[in-house]
Structure 1
Amino acid sequence: MSTELITPPVAVESYRVIRRNGQATAWDPHKIELALTKVCIAVHGAAVAQSQQFHEKIALLTERVGQAITRHKTGDTPIHVEEIQDQVELALMRAEEHQLARAYVLYREQQASLRKTKAPASPDAELPARQVRDQQGQSVPLDHALWRGKLVNACAALPEVDVTTLYRQAVDNLFDGAGFDDIYRALILTVRGRIETDPQYNRVAVALLLDQTALQVQQANGVVPRFGEPFDYRALFVQSIQHGVAVGLLDPRLAEFDLPRLAAALEPDRDHQLQYLGLQTLVDRYFLRHEEQPVELPQIFFMRVAMGLAVQEIDREHHAIAFYNLLSSFRFMCSSPTLFNSGTRHAQLSSCFLTTISDDLGDIYSAVRDNALLSKFAGGIGNDWTRIRAMGSPIKGTNGRSLGIVPFLKVANDTAVAVNQGGKRKGAVCAYLEIWHRDIEEFLELRKNTGDDRRRTHDMNTAVWVPDLFIKRIESEGDWTLFSPDEVADLHECYGAEFEKRYLAYEQAAAAGKLRQAQTMPALSLWRKLLTMLFETGHPWITFKDPCNLRSPQQHAGVVHSSNLCTEITLNTSDDEIAVCNLGSVNLPAHLNDEGLDHERLRATIHTAMRLLDNVIDINYYTVPQARRSNLRHRPVGLGQMGFQDALYRLGLAYDSQEAVTFADRSSEAVSYYALEASAKLAAERGVYPSYRGSLWDQGILPIDSLNLLEAARGGWLEVDRETTMDWQALRARIAADGMRNSNCLAIAPTATIANICGISQSIEPTYRHLFVKSNMSGDFTVINPYLIEALTAEGLWDEATLADLKYFDGCLAPIKRIPEALKRRFRTAFEMEPEWLIEAAARRQKWLDQAQSLNLYLDQPSGRKLDQMYRLAWLRGLKTTYYLRSMGASHAEKVTVQQGELNAVRAQPAASCSIEDGDCDACQ
């Protein structure tokens, strides 16, 4: 186990630890050291305690537990002993001390069983007395009947639950002087610990959190709650909107809606569709707040968002209700910026911004300022830096030499850190550079943890913009020439055959000594360095310039110089235009029936969603004029999809199967068809977008047809299935007659957070693990695959032993001998399948997209050869972009059993670059 130094936790002397008897004691890290020491000695023997390595290990684990405990707490927030024990378990797992973790888990279970045998068996049995604070702050005895009744109501859907034991555990978590929020937290903490054994406990945790939040919302809106009695949800909605307008949270136009009509359309029962992770995320990060208290409940929130999106409609109420039903049923979900800001006084609703930066000092710092303003309201940013001259290039104004792009990237990196989107999430930016730029080798090393830290950008994502010619040079093992853009400025503005023609001419000029900054090297050498950095640091991402441009519907309007933060947006940028995209995603599993894809339901969803997304363009608050100009001229949107893995589970398909690839093809074809149909319908109603004339749409070329343009420009080098199943000729005729409302319609974003809200798998991702702990700004959450539990339960295999094995084997089924091979095959995780399956499915989606997709690639045991083959295949299949490379560590600790027997397999652990639980990219969604 590594013993590197880590940042020490905040001072913890003021923290209180609540014991099971309710008494509060001071934080004492020595007790954690003692517990860790005992478990180590129990597993490895007393002799191990005599080594220095042992003491260093114990000290580091103790420090990590302290950091984890205090990360989401203030000094006045009590810490329960169960929380500390949870973090000890997590610290052991994350440190790859799996043998110790298993022993610790078994010890905790034994102690819990002992306590359970001593616990009273009936509600009337004696419970410890507790003095708590009521809503007026007065000290009163804890009303066991009231609070047990709340737990009984929350557990109504789970008749087998032992409410008495649950309640007693919750009371044990309490301390004298606890307030009502502390009591709710104790109940929820007790329940959420059961989610890993039965996902149905999600419903109990949700019911309790809704009850707690409802009290807070009533108080925040000036309503005196009657504790323990039901409230009028619809009346509270009206009060919430009126109060929000009065205190300046909401756009005053929302008060002009027919609020009683909208209130009547609310469906309060839909609150219980939420999973605990989704509801906690909404409460912490999405609900509007006044004086630190939430002023919304889920259905109020969804209606507020819908009202903000319908505010300019003629029949506002009709469309607000339609948008509300779409969102609250989880058939479709807007991106996070739209959810954050819709209906507010600064409705910045767009998700992604793309800029190109010119080679001028004033423009560079103007672009950094634009980054800050765009990031302020929750936008993800992609910057194209290719035009900045290379290191060593002359500067005429000062008669000096340029230091290249890296110092300016450092400024952009620090700006992204400084502007953290109001505390809702971190600012995020990605820098793009074309691979012929003279500074490309330094660019590849930006994310390294070694070297001069002044030339590193640890918080900024990076991506290379790769032309087809470079891949061809790799294939032919030829040379590659690097240039400074001040000597070859037009390379930045061309692609395809024209790029190749000009590049060859510049190579000849360089060979003749006419270009001072040119440098020639083997293409394979640069490719290997790129792949090495990608494996070591997770960056830069590999994106392909020519497919993005040759298949762009807007070739007549400009050049695509980069993608965005999450590599799914491919829009034109220039000095006068910052590209903007407005995102939302269709919930695929919500559109399945017994026959497969429910086309009628899907079509209705997409037509409403496209209207909603088109409205965003006109309602949006633009922080910089270049963004407004671009968005109104081209009107792009990005309709995506999420829950692909869930859909496969419901259909009984393995991700790594030809049937899954076919489903990716057919579902993407349907989403594409209905999105383009909806945009044409909007064009007939509202008019075509201003730059429509001359576009591929105007020429009758749809995304599926643009594959021919790419193949012709490459001279072949494109292998992708072209089959279609829907009536595309009829759609071409409709577009020819009515035009298109939006220059771009389709893009598949990561959906990391909105998928949590909907309780489904994110985007097009395979299952990462069947059981893991997800960390985000709301805290740590146990995530377990409910489809797996359902399948194991049907086979009579879901029990405590299987749960323990899942924990031991990092959420994978493969090493568990008693699991049938058919189940292992169906429930393979991302690292258990060959990455070619991900690429094949992505290629089937890409043929239908006018933009791109956020495609993560997974490799269990990376090698240079595998990486080379994987990215060449992605290019050959016509993909426009790729996203993160998720890899597993090359070395890991061997796992052995606490008791002799079955659990003796060796499993890989995530490499440092793999941070799926801790670092989901959700800047777009």
Structure 2
Amino acid sequence: MKTTVSKIRKRDGRIVEFEQGKITNAIYKALVSVGMEEEGKEQELAKELTEKVVIALEKSFAARVPSVEDVQDVVEHVLIAEGFSEVAKAYILYRQQRADIRNLKKFIGVKDDLKLSLNAVEVLKRRYLLKNELGGVIETPSQMFERVARAVARAELNYSKSKGKAKEIERRFYQLMRNLEFLPNSPTLMNAGTELRQLAACFVLPVEDSIGGIFEAVKNMALIHQSGGGTGFSFSKLRPKGDVVRSTGGIASGPVSFMRVFDVATDVIKQGGKRRGANMGILNAEHPDILEFIRAKERGGFANFNISVAVTDEFMQAVEKNDEYALINPRTKEEVRKINAREVFNEIVTYAWKTGDPGIVFLDEINRRNPISAIGKIEATNPCVTADTWVMTAEGPRQVEELIGKKFTAFLDGEKWESSEAGFFETGVKPVYKLKTAEGFVLRLTADHLVMKVERLTGYKVETQWSKAGDLKPGDKIKMNRERFVASVEEVVPDGMEKVYDVQIPGINAFDANGFVVHNCGEQPLLPYESCNLGSINVSKFVKNGEIDWERLREVVCISVRFLDDVIDVNRYPLPEIERMTKANRKIGLGIMGFAELLIKLGIAYDSKDALSVGEKLMQFITNESRRYSTQLALERGSFPNFELSVWNAKYEAMRNATVTTIAPTGTISIIAGCSSGIEPIFAVAFVRNVMGGLLEINKLFEDIAKEKGFYSKDLITEIAKCGSIQDIEGIPEDIKGIFVTALDISPEWHVRMQAAFQKYTDNATSKTVNLPNDATWGDVKKVFLLAYKLKCKGITVYRYGSKEQVFSLDIPKLMLEEYVCADSEYTGECRICSV
């Protein structure tokens, strides 16, 4: 319908083109929400009503440009006049909700010019948007993307591009991010176009077997953390505990002892003013101190480390045969003693079952797929979770940077956990008890769950020790929060059976939010002194008419590869050795996010063979197109300097980047993009986000389908928000239940198989959390590890969770004083890396 109304005034005063389709869409949604028409006829009626709205606008605004509010007022009047009072009511309520959200965003202090979610705006303010000296935000989300695009596109001028062509590339970079089709890792969003200019996510540093070498690594780690990066180390070169130190005639304390130096140093360094340091520590299974390493977190400590055992094919074969293998002194290269491989493997399983640490890294598999093996073998991977994320404490959400190295009380599976002096602690599986304090705090925990008990309180220090909940007595003092609040135990009483886990700081060990404690996992295997910059494509944006839009995806893959390659050139490196190694291999890591939504849009269950097939095909396409474009870039710009020493020399004419793809845990960038993290399933269909006092979040796809199918109601959403899952809720069609499966609805085997499906066509490793239900056994963890090895994963991480019925509960007074599944502001249900 042609109309004389051609312009509309936006709320910010801008005058833009009038789009009649937006009115039709708004009316259509209101019709669907109240079920006013037979399915399939809503669109036709919406168009008819829109025509009436346009006619009314032409009559009322012939002499001036209508505002957005004017148009919405007319829509309301037309709906009421045409007898659609219920639809008008739904439209008015939606309009009010949008107004409330706009007001909340103003309260946060961010001008949202991209219509992002309230939580995304909160995350952007806290971590990404530039601020003035007083802490006030001085850029909008779109201006942040402009800043990043402008800074990264400067690299184009290094390759004889005219300013005009470089400007066009800058525009494409900007549109890519503005459309939320692709986002780079957090350091790029934070630091591009600023004085810091450190844009890479992850680094690996060598640790040599000398005091000088060890403390050189500590110094380099500090510089990297200060610039916003995360670090990975292999401590396998360090001589074992009890070995001789000839220079002093003393006795070596071993790698675990020196790890404490790195841990303490990390504690006091705040990354780039926004994040604390994150480390991953690896020790080879053949090291004489391997058992001490496996048990390192048994009594807490190493709060800033995620640890993994590096195993070889030979070790795994010895496990299968129940054979012994040799422990080798790395200093002398001589055998120290033999030990049963299966017993060591079982010990790994035991502590992974109890605490989530250690993970396993399959070094031979990593090095088999190392494209530059002539340069060296891969020793360590980068950390997978950063310490800037939030944990749920007894007083509500607190940022980890407030809690690292301090005693505090955190929540896990609906229970309160008190941290150690260094950060967090570990526990086992036992009957659940309810612990009540005189101050009114109520904890659900296991009898052998370790609680921080106060032994002595002075004016400047609180001396504590871990105490089993079952051993607490009335009057005992326990630690409650970061303000050093001490509570008195009133009673401890039985409260059923449940399995529980430890809380570990993100990027350090594991992350707890609404019960989903996701363990760290290294997704970017690197050589010593290498770094890698990461970016992820939001694949949920590429479903068109029920199919994947492969052509548009190809375009986005190509421009994303160009973006990441440009980052290497404009990056400011924290160490000259890192700059030399990074530019010699030019590794990039292009991955995905929004995979769960893509499957839902395709009508495919996550835990199905069809989903595995889609994942494998999708990653094969992205990797192949990335390599194709990297070859094209190499013909324009030159191959990476070590190309002739790589496997690509025999397969390709040229190659710009030694590696091109990685599946990273996308953390906060997936919140900005409004999609699920990495290749993880959704972690809840509805839940309470701990933002602005409690914000109910509903999976948008579920909400739309529920309204379209006619089974949506506020009561239904409230019921879902109490458990996160829809599997046991009546009134929801079975086919809908099939595609909206959460992380805890999915069996461990499907998690591993999905990781393997993506790993098959991913250059670097694949970040994936294998979520185990609360009744998972020691044997279940063992099966996961063995299946991961069989399916040729490069590494594996497991974490057991609480019950599906009460994933994580927190009293929310504003929401009827009932218990809801809650998630911290930055939680997305995944394992996260270097603030990716």
TM-score, scaled relative to structure 1? 0.61
Choose which of 149, 169, 176 in structure 2 pairs with 1:326. 176
1:845 alignment counterpart: 758
The Cα of 1:527 is off from its aligned counterpart by 1.2
Q: Secondary structure at the match of 2:706?
A: helix
The Cα of 1:796 is off from its aligned counterpart by 2.6
Contact 1:591 1:601 in 2 (8 A): yes
Contact 2:187 2:229 in 1 (8 A): yes
Contact 1:855 1:884 in 2 (8 A): no
Instruction: Tell me, yes or no, if structure 1 residue 347 matches structure 2 residue 262.
Output: no
Distance 2:257 2:293 in 1: 11
Choose which of 785, 807, 832 in structure 2 pairs with 1:921. 832
Instruction: Tell me, yes or no, if structure 1 residue 602 matches structure 2 residue 553.
Output: yes
Query: Which stretch shows the higher mean deviation, 305-314 or 739-748?
Result: 305-314
| 1:449-598 equivalent positions in 2, closer than 5 A | 450=299, 456-488=301-333, 510=335, 518-566=336-384, 567-574=521-528, 578-594=529-545, 596-598=547-549
2:783 alignment counterpart: 869
1:369-415: CA deviation from partner (whole Å, max 9, x where unpaired)? 11111011211211111111111111101111111112211121122
Q: 1:893 to 1:682 in 2, by over 3 A?
A: closer
Distance 2:624 2:295 in 1: 42
Q: Secondary structure at the match of 2:156?
A: coil
Distance 1:852 1:199 in 2: 43
1:878 alignment counterpart: 792
1:51-77: CA deviation from partner (whole Å, max 9, x where unpaired)? xxxxxxxxxxxxxxxxxxxxxxxxxxx
1:312-371: CA deviation from partner (whole Å, max 9, x where unpaired)? 323332221111011111111011000001111221001110122110111111111111
| 1:264-343 equivalent positions in 2, closer than 5 A | 271-272=114-115, 274-291=116-133, 292-314=135-157, 315=163, 316-343=166-193
Distance 2:609 2:523 in 1: 28
2:628 alignment counterpart: 677
Amino acid at match of 1:536: K
Q: 1:445 to 1:797 in 2, by over 3 A?
A: same
Q: Secondary structure at the match of 1:312?
A: helix
Higher relative contact order (CA 8 A, sep 6+): 2
Contact 2:772 2:798 in 1 (8 A): no
Distance 1:523 1:690 in 2: 41
The Cα of 1:433 is off from its aligned counterpart by 1.0
Contact 1:477 1:524 in 2 (8 A): yes
Choose which of 734, 742, 748 in structure 2 pairs with 1:821. 734
Contact 1:528 1:864 in 2 (8 A): no
The Cα of 1:801 is off from its aligned counterpart by 2.4
Amino acid at match of 1:758: A
Distance 1:158 1:761 in 2: 34
Contact 2:688 2:721 in 1 (8 A): no
Amino acid at match of 1:538: G
The Cα of 1:822 is off from its aligned counterpart by 2.3
The Cα of 1:417 is off from its aligned counterpart by 2.0
2:30 alignment counterpart: none
Contact 2:349 2:778 in 1 (8 A): yes
Contact 1:548 1:880 in 2 (8 A): yes
Q: How many residues align?
A: 603
Choose which of 647, 654, 657 in structure 2 pairs with 1:696. 647
Distance 2:245 2:539 in 1: 54
The Cα of 1:549 is off from its aligned counterpart by 0.3
Contact 1:744 1:850 in 2 (8 A): yes
Q: Secondary structure at the match of 1:536?
A: helix
Q: 1:920 to 1:696 in 2, by over 3 A?
A: closer
TM-score, scaled relative to structure 2? 0.67
Amino acid at match of 1:381: T
Distance 2:820 2:354 in 1: 16
The Cα of 1:797 is off from its aligned counterpart by 2.3
Q: 1:599 to 1:414 in 2, by over 3 A?
A: same
1:770 alignment counterpart: 685
| Greater percentage in strand | 2
Contact 1:288 1:296 in 2 (8 A): yes
1:495 alignment counterpart: none
Q: 1:764 to 1:917 in 2, by over 3 A?
A: closer
The Cα of 1:786 is off from its aligned counterpart by 1.7
2:660 alignment counterpart: 745
Q: 1:749 to 1:621 in 2, by over 3 A?
A: same
2:242 alignment counterpart: 392
1:186-230: CA deviation from partner (whole Å, max 9, x where unpaired)? xxxxxxxx9xxx99988545533565678x78xxxxxxxxxxxxx
1:646 alignment counterpart: 597
Distance 1:366 1:580 in 2: 18
Q: 1:571 to 1:863 in 2, by over 3 A?
A: closer
Contact 1:202 1:276 in 2 (8 A): no
Distance 1:692 1:339 in 2: 30
The Cα of 1:538 is off from its aligned counterpart by 1.4
| Greater percentage in helix | 1
2:404 alignment counterpart: none
The Cα of 1:678 is off from its aligned counterpart by 1.1
Distance 1:530 1:568 in 2: 17
The Cα of 1:537 is off from its aligned counterpart by 1.4
Q: 1:357 to 1:668 in 2, by over 3 A?
A: same
Distance 1:418 1:157 in 2: 58
Distance 2:130 2:75 in 1: 32
The Cα of 1:871 is off from its aligned counterpart by 1.2
Q: Secondary structure at the match of 2:176?
A: helix
1:233 alignment counterpart: none
The Cα of 1:592 is off from its aligned counterpart by 1.9
1:799 alignment counterpart: 713
Q: Secondary structure at the match of 2:643?
A: coil
Q: 1:386 to 1:894 in 2, by over 3 A?
A: closer
Structure 1 residues without counterparts, runs of 5 or longer: 1-148, 161-193, 218-267, 489-505, 511-517, 701-734, 896-906
Distance 1:683 1:779 in 2: 51
| Bigger radius of gyration among the two | 1
Percent of pairs identical after alignment?
Answer: 29
Distance 2:96 2:353 in 1: 39
The Cα of 1:296 is off from its aligned counterpart by 0.5
Amino acid at match of 1:549: N
Distance 2:228 2:541 in 1: 28
Distance 1:371 1:276 in 2: 35
Q: 1:157 to 1:579 in 2, by over 3 A?
A: farther
Contact 1:158 1:200 in 2 (8 A): no
1:698-754: CA deviation from partner (whole Å, max 9, x where unpaired)? 122xxxxxxxxxxxxxxxxxxxxxxxxxxxxxxxxxx33xx1001111111100110
The Cα of 1:884 is off from its aligned counterpart by 4.8
Amino acid at match of 1:468: D
Distance 1:893 1:300 in 2: 38
Distance 1:843 1:159 in 2: 52
Q: Secondary structure at the match of 1:656?
A: coil
Amino acid at match of 1:563: T
2:570 alignment counterpart: 619
Q: Secondary structure at the match of 2:147?
A: helix
Q: Secondary structure at the match of 1:660?
A: helix
1:267-295: CA deviation from partner (whole Å, max 9, x where unpaired)? x9x612x2221122112211111121111
Q: Secondary structure at the match of 1:346?
A: coil
Amino acid at match of 1:885: Y
Contact 1:753 1:922 in 2 (8 A): no
